[in-house]
Structure 1
């Protein structure tokens, strides 16, 4: 977008009308991404381009900008050039952790915007030393932002696919918001997920969370209290977990008014059966009478020590979804025989359900 503004504005009146159309400039993206690799991306814009936009263009459109995307090196000039009375959405992209914390603490214009105007906020913190920021420092920033943003409704905090930025929370931290309805965040542990759902965000209706690793919890957070205000929930975790039945299922059963659910999980079980349509219905969906959309990709690994325990076939799994009136899904079963400690274990992977949306009437 910055290239278009730089190249076409002031060329002719007709082009000005097209380029500066309110529909086009209401979402102003002041970044220009250069991708060196999937992880290595540069968002800053040329200084000459930035100067022209700040001097000749922003004063003409400032009162029509609703959404603004800025990166670390241009933010101060963009915010200090003019005011943005209609601005409600702000994205701070590709910031170093310490620089962003300094701006949040000391930049008067940014603090005023966050405190009085911004209802939608996106934060992206980059790696600066070859390793991601410490989870504890990110959680400190998260708490700081919530205390500063009095109007905040939607927060997307460090959830970029090419980052490895995870938060972890001291369970004694007094972090809360009475306005937040939507939260997207990456957390380090399942305890962190439970922490964010313990009632401190009493208006939260949508949560999209990526958990670094789902393992046994400290058992200090109640995982039984119902979550009646939650309407949309997405849980993603790539490493295999052995606590699906003990931790994930109880959490999902708390979401009694959920309307949309997304699960992307890798699960390991011992001497059990695969997760199929019947089990999903009996353990999760029956507790969500308002659910109308269920999207999932579940990879189950069965370690079979007891050869007497029967396992469902691929056809059995697919039929289980038809019987529960959810229609066909994609599934795949592969069995591997592994010799361990002079005995044979059968390890079977199933099902691999590829982003199937199930709509229940």
Structure 2
């Protein structure tokens, strides 16, 4: 053994566990399993006690190492009674699931592509035979490939790639285990995919969490409209700005006759602006058994010659209906462009993002937020950024603007989306020293470059830790 390992091996178990918890199961098995009996015992008793996670970094094209898989095959029979949750890549799922009986397994998360997912869930598959009558909670997540594309092809256009599983949902009637699922988490492209899932195959579903990338909810006519009596918790988040929600979502809520908990997020770009009256009439009044309502709703609308006024006090007043939360509102009117942005949300704030923050932001403490975006006609001053840093202590992604480290200190691992011209002007052609510290903490820089400006060598030095991408 080398001296470094001897020092590591001399540490008490408590310290080793704290150090190793920052590694994935994959890395722990690769680096430490079978070194000695002590490490084997720590791995089995602390890290593989209740769950097994075998996922390679989403940004990686590296295949699973045979050494790792052999270690897993050896360990699984020893811990099968303990495993309640499996998080696994679909590439190796069939190599893992038949190694033991997993008598206490309740939850499976699968990282997959579209074609792989269809093969996994068809009747007669090994997954259905072994896990079909056991699991109660299923999560399907898309595998992403980013950095290898950059390394191989240079510049790229896709920020985040998601394979939408809509074809899988259209085939959902052949999934024999779906009647056992009580919780489901999915990301889809269209509202119709949501309707396919709720056509009756998941007849024991109690909690349903869905993210939708589409911009509207016009339903098709080829799905079954049945009463949905089992769902008690429903969360729907529209990832992009939407045009409407009333033609599909509202009728769907009418069908959820026993819904007790409802989470919703969207930003709407058409009139009317969502205010306390619409919130009550279209959502609250249509869910008679509602006990918990968590919402985060924005209206971004071009008013032209119209004028709109609303009372924050009226919005807050309607919060009396809810015992566990209050209703907060922010309204911004941008005179030059004649856009109005209205934002209403339930407090305490539980979402991991906060969009369209203006100079009128009143502050607060938003510990759950990791992504923020700024939106205003007027420039943001340094005191404003100080308020942002205080209000969002754990944010890791900033869209539109950046900070002066004399006033504010960024965390590491920041994502920055900004205009190249604005960046050039703000940094005085990437020469201002007061920005260097924070800029060195940015890992990904996405620049809007309108006029095909030549790439500035000072820019690359200024953001020396960042992967830089350009768009028009």
With the length of structure 1 as denominator, give the TM-score of the two structures: 0.68
Equivalent position of 2:8 in the other structure: none
| Rounded Cα–Cα distance in structure 2 between residues aligned with 1:7 and 1:181 | 37
Q: Name the SS of the counterpart of 1:296 in structure 2.
A: strand
| Rounded Cα–Cα distance in structure 1 between residues aligned with 2:320 and 2:88 | 51
| Rounded Cα–Cα distance in structure 2 between residues aligned with 1:214 and 1:92 | 27
Q: Name the SS of the counterpart of 1:291 in structure 2.
A: coil
Q: Name the SS of the counterpart of 1:20 in structure 2.
A: helix
| Rounded Cα–Cα distance in structure 2 between residues aligned with 1:191 and 1:98 | 20
Equivalent position of 1:235 in the other structure: 236
- Please state if 1:78 is matched with 2:77: no
Deviations, residues 239-297 of structure 1 (Å, cap 9, x unaligned): 33332344433433443421111010111343x45412x43223321333332211111
Equivalent position of 1:350 in the other structure: 342
- Please state if 1:334 is matched with 2:332: yes
Equivalent position of 1:141 in the other structure: 168
Q: Name the SS of the counterpart of 2:333 in structure 1.
A: strand
Q: Tell which has more relative contact order, 1 or 2 (C-alpha 8 A, sep 6+).
A: 1
Asked if the contact 1:183–1:207 (Cα under 8 Å) also holds between the matched residues in 2, the reply is yes
Equivalent position of 1:27 in the other structure: 51
Q: How far 1:183 moved relative to its partner?
A: 2.6
Quickly say closer, same or farther: Cα 1:190–1:50, change in 2 above 3 A. closer
Quickly say closer, same or farther: Cα 1:44–1:257, change in 2 above 3 A. same
Quickly say closer, same or farther: Cα 1:290–1:49, change in 2 above 3 A. same
- Please state if 1:321 is matched with 2:339: no
- Please state if 1:47 is matched with 2:66: yes
| Rounded Cα–Cα distance in structure 1 between residues aligned with 2:274 and 2:259 | 24
Judge which range, 284-293 or 315-324, deviates more.
315-324
Deviations, residues 169-202 of structure 1 (Å, cap 9, x unaligned): xxxxxxxxx4443332223223333343344543
Q: How far 1:351 moved relative to its partner?
A: 1.7
Equivalent position of 1:170 in the other structure: none
Equivalent position of 1:286 in the other structure: 285
Asked if the contact 1:194–1:221 (Cα under 8 Å) also holds between the matched residues in 2, the reply is no
Equivalent position of 1:296 in the other structure: 295
Structure 1: segments with no counterpart, 5+ residues: 153-177, 340-345
Judge which range, 249-258 or 234-243, deviates more.
249-258
| Rounded Cα–Cα distance in structure 1 between residues aligned with 2:273 and 2:46 | 57
| Rounded Cα–Cα distance in structure 1 between residues aligned with 2:288 and 2:335 | 41
**Counterpart mapping for 1:1-361 below 5 A:** 1-5=25-29, 16-21=40-45, 24-33=48-57, 40-41=59-60, 44-54=63-73, 56-79=74-97, 82-86=99-103, 87-93=105-111, 95-102=112-119, 109-126=126-143, 135=164, 138-142=165-169, 147-150=174-177, 152=178, 178-215=179-216, 217=218, 220=221, 226-270=227-271, 272-276=272-276, 278-305=277-304, 307=306, 310-313=308-311, 315-322=312-319, 324=321, 328-337=326-335, 346-353=338-345, 356=348
Q: How far 1:232 moved relative to its partner?
A: 0.7
Quickly say closer, same or farther: Cα 1:347–1:322, change in 2 above 3 A. same
Quickly say closer, same or farther: Cα 1:139–1:73, change in 2 above 3 A. closer
With the length of structure 2 as denominator, give the TM-score of the two structures: 0.54
Asked if the contact 1:296–1:356 (Cα under 8 Å) also holds between the matched residues in 2, the reply is no
Q: How far 1:104 moved relative to its partner?
A: 5.7
| Rounded Cα–Cα distance in structure 2 between residues aligned with 1:26 and 1:198 | 33
Q: How far 1:317 moved relative to its partner?
A: 4.8
Asked if the contact 2:261–2:293 (Cα under 8 Å) also holds between the matched residues in 1, the reply is yes
Quickly say closer, same or farther: Cα 1:97–1:332, change in 2 above 3 A. same
Asked if the contact 1:62–1:84 (Cα under 8 Å) also holds between the matched residues in 2, the reply is yes
Deviations, residues 274-329 of structure 1 (Å, cap 9, x unaligned): 412x432233213333322111110012443563x65214x345433356566643
Q: Cα RMSD over matched residues?
A: 4.0
Aligned residue pairs, count: 312
Deviations, residues 55-75 of structure 1 (Å, cap 9, x unaligned): x43343345433333325544
